[in-house]
Amino acid sequence: MKASIRLALALAAACAAASAQADLTIGVSISLTGPTSALGIPTKNGIALWPATIAGEKLNVIVLDDATDPTKAVQNTRRFLTEDKVDVIIGSTATPVAAAMADVAAEGKTVQLMLSPVNLPPGKGEWSFRMPQSTAVMAIPIVEHWKKTGVKTYGFLGFADGYGEAWLTDIKPLADKAGIKLVDTERFARSDTAVTGQVLKLTSANPDAILIVASGSGAAMPHKALVERGYPKAKIYQTHGAATMDLIRVGGADVEGGFVSSGPAVVAEKLPDSNASKALGVQFKNEFEKVNGKGSANQFAAHAFDVVLVLQKAVPIALKKGKPGTPEFRAALKDAFETMGRTPVSQGVLNWTATDHFGYTPETGVLLKIVNGDWQVVP
């Protein structure tokens, strides 16, 4: 082979290798099986609509099932770091699973975009940013409605895990400040199929309102149990983990009249034009439902949509300091997220900083009421 041909082939190979190294590699660990698969599946459907490139960099997306198992999620995360050399880690959709991934992400100095609102202990989560709204922000519209409607006491029926505890921790001081007293706290596991004992205790305490902290279609079970025991439908409130048509589909008539705290994407077309998330939320719903069917859009798919929005803003900033596949790029991406400023997404307005990796503004939450099998925005 002539030297000139060998040189040309070598240069071509080098260029191809450089091109491969420049791919923006994203590792996604979500719950496609297990108790929270109803959250992971629409997220995966949202990921399927991601563009082929971001800021001129080809996307290389690796999706793994963590089966709603923290141990499996940690294994997935370690694989992303050691084998796949990812630039960004996405996941998980369940709070305890996402929390388990955080230490590994920090160890690998790689950004984790969480798909659940995880409250981490002080000093943890330096590399973890949340796509969902914090429980503190989403508790605001519920407590404000309680104040307006004269609620003086409430009961808590929630997951016995990080999501449940986050809500209990964040809503209690807001309610206390408003003079609204917590009279009973009951918990259940995500895998439980009945909450009879908990409901009996709650209804005997006769609170003015009951907050259910659950997610996906599983949020319907405790709601139906309360109604079956005679608790008034109009006094039951749910969190943004339940802001999905699965709640309405599974709950049927029993959830009619109930209230749900939600991000704006679920009801984007019903919001005023002044809402910063309206246009993006409508765009998300149109794109998602064109492929997955009318009524299929929910907040979990919306978070996948918003991942692209934050990457489209942060990646060009990070590229000024390094190329994908390098420690310099990963560090620059973290810095970009913390300094890129006010960023409207379909689920609210983000403003991440070095000290706030939730970032959503206080007015983000929207209170919804279930009326005739659909969402109605509560003024």
pLDDT digits (tens, 9 = 90+) for 182-200: 999 999 999 999 999 999 9
Q: Is residue 51 part of a domain?
A: yes
- Please, which residues have CB within 8 angstroms of residue 240's CB and are 6 or more apart in sequence? 117, 132, 133, 138, 260, 261, 262, 263, 299, 365
Confirm whether 344 is domain-assigned: yes
- Examine the pLDDT at 6 and tell me if it is beyond 60: no
Same-domain status, 236 and 316: no
| C-alpha to C-alpha distances, 188 to 230, 233, 240, 274, 314, nearest whole angstrom | 20, 20, 18, 40, 39
Q: Are 191 and 214 in contact (CB under 8 A)?
A: no
Q: Is residue 272 part of a domain?
A: no
Contact 125, 105 (CB under 8 A): no
Co-location of 199 and 79 in the same domain:
no
Query: What residues have CB less than 8 Å from 114, skipping those under 6 apart?
Result: 91, 92, 98, 101, 102, 128, 129, 130, 131, 132
246-289 residue pLDDT tens: 899 999 999 999 999 999 998 999 998 999 999 999 999 999 99
From the CB of residue 375, how many other CB atoms can be counted at a distance below 10 Å? Answer: 18
* In-domain check, residue 269: no
Write out the residue range of the structural domain in which residue 141 sits. 135-262
Of 221, 256, 216, the closest CA to residue 239 belongs to: 216
Strand, helix or coil for residue 227: helix
Name the percent of the chain lying above pLDDT 90. Answer: 87
Summarize the confidence of residues 333-350 as an average pLDDT.
97
Is the full-model pTM beyond 0.75?
yes
Binning pLDDT at 50, 70 and 90, where does residue 123 land?
confident
Say if 277 falls within a structural domain.
no
Do 65 and 97 belong together in one domain? yes
User: Do the domain assignments include residue 243?
Assistant: yes
Task: Check pLDDT > 70 for residue 7.
Answer: no
Q: Residue range 156-171: average pLDDT? A: 95
CA distances from 287 to 115, 282, 290, 313 (A): 20, 9, 5, 20
Instruction: Work out how many domains the chain is built from and give that number.
Output: 2
Is omega for the bond preceding 215 within 30 degrees of 0, making it cis? no
Question: Same domain, yes or no, for 153 and 179?
Answer: yes
* Same-domain status, 42 and 77: yes
- Which pLDDT value is given to residue 47? 98
